[in-house]
Amino acid sequence: MKNIENNNHTFNLIRDAIPIKWNIKLIQSNGKKSRKQETRNEEQQKRKNNIIQTPLEIKPETRKMKVIKRIKENNIANVFIAENSDRKQFEFVESIQPPLTIKQKWVLILSTLYGCPVGCIFCDAGGNYHGKLSFDEIMFQIEYLINQRFPDKYVDSDKFKIQFARMGEPSFNNNVLDVLEAIPNTFSLKSFVPSLSTIAPIGTDNFFNKLLEIKENLYQNDFQLQFSLHSTDEAQRDELVPVKKWSFEKISEYGKRFYSSKGKKITLNFAMGKTNILNVTDLKKYFDPMIFLIKLTPVNPTFKAKENKIESLIRPDVKTYSLIDELNEEGFEVILSIGELEENKIGSNCGQYINALNQKNETIDQSYSYGIVDL
Ligand code: SF4
C-alpha cells in the first residue's frame, strides 16, 4: 500500500480500501440518485413499457478516449490499451475461446479502476491506484469492441458475457452500477450475462445493496456473481488480499439474498497456489452447496506471483485433483477453470496486465510474449 501517500487520491483510498492495519470509521454515501441516474431510470422505464424500441445510438468517437495499442490480432483473446484525454491508460479484453465462434460465445473483460488499491499479491493490475473510471470510460470499452465485431450494433452472440474483472475491484466504483443499468437500454443484444468478481471489501454495502436491486430488476436469472476468496484461512486470505474484507458469514448471508433458484449459483473462486488452504469442512460451515459453487483456477504467470514466489497448484496438464473429490463429497459443484495456455502468452488471463511490462526489465516464461501493436 506504499503508493497511498504519493498520489492525489488519499481520500478515495481511505474510503475505498481500508488496509488491515487501519481502523477508520467509514462514512457511507447517502444513496441519493443523481439527475443523470434519474433520467436513465425514466428512459429505462419507457423502454420496459416499449415506448422506446430502438437501441441508443453508439458514438464512441464522441467520448474523449482512444485505443492506442493492442495485442497482435489472434483468434483466442485480444487485449486493447486505451487512453483518456488526461493520458491515463486502461486495458480491456475480448476473449473468444475457440473452437467456439464469437456467434456462439463472446466475453468482454473490462477495467473499472486505474490501478487497484487492493494489491493482491499475485495480480499485476494491483497497486498504483489513481482513480476510478468514469461511466463513459467503462461504456467506451463495450462500445469499442461491439463496433469492431458487430458494426451493425446488434450483438448476435448466443452467449454474450461482460466481466468486470480486468483492472480494479469493481465495488469501489459506483459507475459500474450505472453501466449495469444502462447496458440493456444502450445495446441491442441477443443474449447477455453480466458477471462481477469481487474480493468483497468492507465499506461497500451500498454498492452491493444496489447491485442486488439491479439484478432483481434487470437480470433476475442471468447474473453471475463471484467472490474471490483464495483461502479458507482468514490470516492467509489477508496475506493474499491485503485489505479489510467481509467475513465469510457476511459473504454467505449476502449470497443467500442474491441467489434465486432459477438463477446461477454464486461462485467462490480459489486461485490455487501450492500453499493455499482450502479446508472443505471450514468451507461447508459457512457456504451451502445448494447456493454456492466452487471454481478452482491456476495462479497465472504474473510478475507479482513470481516476485512473491507463488507457484500454481493447478497445472494445465493435470485435470484431476483430490481436492475436487473432497469438495464433491461434501456436495459442492466444482468448476476447474484452466483456460487456454496461449492466453498467458497473450497476457489476457486473470491477474495479468499488459502495461506491467513497461515497469519491468524482465520476462516471464510462457507469459506476456505476444507483440504489442501501436494503433
Ligand atoms: S485481483 Fe482484483 S482486487 Fe486484487 S489487485 Fe487485482 S484487480 Fe485488484
Question: Per the domain annotation, does 5 fall within a domain?
Answer: no
Pocket test for ligand 1, best of 110, 169, 354 (most atoms within 8 A of CB): 169
Residue 63's pLDDT is what?
57
The full DSSP string for 309-342 is TPPBSS-TT----HHHHHHHHTT--EEE----TH
Alpha-carbon span 199 to 120, nearest angstrom: 10
Task: Give this prediction's pTM.
Answer: 0.83
Tell me the CATH number at 251.
3.20.20.70
Question: Per the domain annotation, does 39 fall within a domain?
Answer: no
CB burial string 74-90: b at 16+ within 10 A, e below: eebbbbbbbebeeeebb
Question: Per the domain annotation, does 48 fall within a domain?
Answer: no
Average pLDDT over residues 217-245: 97
Ligand 1 pocket member 203 (CB < 6 A): no
pLDDT bracket for residue 346 (50, 70, 90): confident
Question: Per the domain annotation, does 342 fall within a domain?
Answer: yes
Question: Per the domain annotation, does 11 fall within a domain?
Answer: no
Residue 42's pLDDT is what?
56
Question: Per the domain annotation, does 12 fall within a domain?
Answer: no
Question: Per the domain annotation, does 314 fall within a domain?
Answer: yes
Average pLDDT over residues 237-264: 97
Helix (H, G, I), strand (E, B) or coil at 15: helix
* Percentage of residues in the chain having pLDDT higher than 70: 83
Residue 30's pLDDT is what?
40
Question: Per the domain annotation, does 16 fall within a domain?
Answer: no
Which grid coordinates are listed for 358?
A: 513497461
Res 171 pLDDT > 80: yes
Ligand 1 pocket member 116 (CB < 6 A): yes
Residue 236: in which H helix or E strand, if any?
Answer: helix 234-240
The total of structural domains in the chain comes to 1
CA dist list (Å): 56 to 33, 154, 340: 22, 12, 35
Range of 323's domain?
Answer: 57-374
Pocket test for ligand 1, best of 16, 123, 128, 307 (most atoms within 8 A of CB): 123
124 CA → ligand 1 middle, Å? 8
